[in-house]
Structure 1
Amino acid sequence: MKVFKAVDKIILKIEEFILSYAVIIIALMVVGKALSRALFSYSPPFADEVSQIAIVVATFMGISYAARKGRHISMSAFYDLAPFKVRKFLSILIPFGTAAVLFVLAYYSSLYVQDVYESGRVTSALEMPAYYLYIFIPIGFLLGGIQFLRNMWINITNRDEVYLGTDVKDYNDEDTNDLEGTHL
């Protein structure tokens, strides 16, 4: 179990590193391109391509990070109003279904990456192999699927609480005792 926790911690640090630098690169490329165009009437041809790569990386590598932190998009109106047992059931069912979809997407996107690799396509400005851009898509889907399975597992093993992420409890279960005695 210690090995899994160590690997998980390493993956978390890698995700944070990749996401942080992807956002910084996006900002630098977009602002740099705008400034260059305004000041010098010149726009570097690689700026759009680098921004596109950074956006793809941030988007797909962010799936796992968002699932881990319980920050993924959710339509929770009915979930929030549901009693504990229903929320507990949904906290197991929804991550399982999401993981299954992500694994299917990882499979098909890996086939696409393989097809791009075999085609020998390169990007227009940087002339780097195009599959470098797309390789992060199946990796992100795979890591996201694994993370949603972990979210499901933590909800199976912890019967008294609902978790949105591996270390994030459901905000509906937060103790509201601190609000008692407060008068508006």
Structure 2
Amino acid sequence: MNFLKVVDKIILKIEEFILSYAVIIIALMVVGKALSRAIFSYTPPFADEVSQIAIVVATFMGISYAARKGRHISMSAFYDLAPFKVRKALMIFIPFVTAVVLFVLTYYSAFYVLDIYESGRVTSALEMPSYFLYIFIPIGFLLGGIQFLRNMWINIKERDAIYLGTDAKDYNDENNQDIQEGTHL
């Protein structure tokens, strides 16, 4: 079990590194392109491609990170109003369904990347193989699916708390505890 925790921490650090630098690259490319156009009336031809690659990387590699931290997009109007047992059941069912969908998307996106690889396409400005851009899509879907399964498992294992992500407890329970603790002062 300790081995899995070490692997999980390594994956977390890699995700944080990739996401951090992808955002920095996006900012540098977009701002640099605008400044270059304004000052020199010249735009580097590679700026759009590098930005596009960084956006794809940040988007799809961010799926797992967002799921881990409980920061993924959710429609929580009914969930927030539901009692504990219903919310607990939903936080087992929803991550399971999400994981299944992400694994299906992993399967199809892997074939898409394989198709791009076999076509031999390259990017226009950098002339880099196009599959380098798209390889992060199935990787992101796969890691996201695994993370949602972990979210489901932690909600099965922990009976007295609800977790939005493996690193994030449900904010509804935290607010209730703060209110209850505040009334006992």
Aligned twin of 1:96: 96
Q: Please say if 1:127 is aligned against 2:130.
A: no
> Cα deviations across residues 151-184 of structure 1 (Å, max 9, x unaligned)?
00000000111000002110111112344389xx
Consecutive unaligned residues of structure 2, counting only runs of 5 or more, are: none
Q: Please say if 1:150 is aligned against 2:150.
A: yes
Aligned twin of 1:39: 39
Aligned twin of 1:16: 16
Q: Please say if 1:180 is aligned against 2:174.
A: no
> Cα deviations across residues 69-113 of structure 1 (Å, max 9, x unaligned)?
000000000000000000000000000000000000000000000
The aligned amino acid for 1:160 is D
Normalising by the residue count of structure 2, what TM-score does the alignment of the two structures yield?
A: 0.96
SS of the aligned residue for 2:150 comes to: helix
SS of the aligned residue for 1:164 comes to: strand
State, as a whole percentage, how many aligned pairs show the same letter. 83
SS of the aligned residue for 1:142 comes to: helix
Aligned twin of 2:69: 69
Aligned twin of 1:83: 83
Normalising by the residue count of structure 1, what TM-score does the alignment of the two structures yield?
A: 0.97
Q: Which deviates more, 70-79 or 166-175?
A: 166-175
Would you say how many aligned residue pairs link Structure 1 and Structure 2? Answer: 182
Output the CA distance in 2 between the equivalents of 1:111 and 1:81: 41
SS of the aligned residue for 2:164 comes to: strand
Output the CA distance in 1 between the equivalents of 2:158 and 2:34: 51
The aligned amino acid for 1:56 is V
Aligned twin of 1:162: 162
Aligned twin of 2:6: 6
SS of the aligned residue for 2:52 comes to: helix
Output the CA distance in 2 between the equivalents of 1:177 and 1:157: 25
Q: Which deviates more, 9-18 or 171-180?
A: 171-180
Output the CA distance in 2 between the equivalents of 1:100 and 1:37: 45
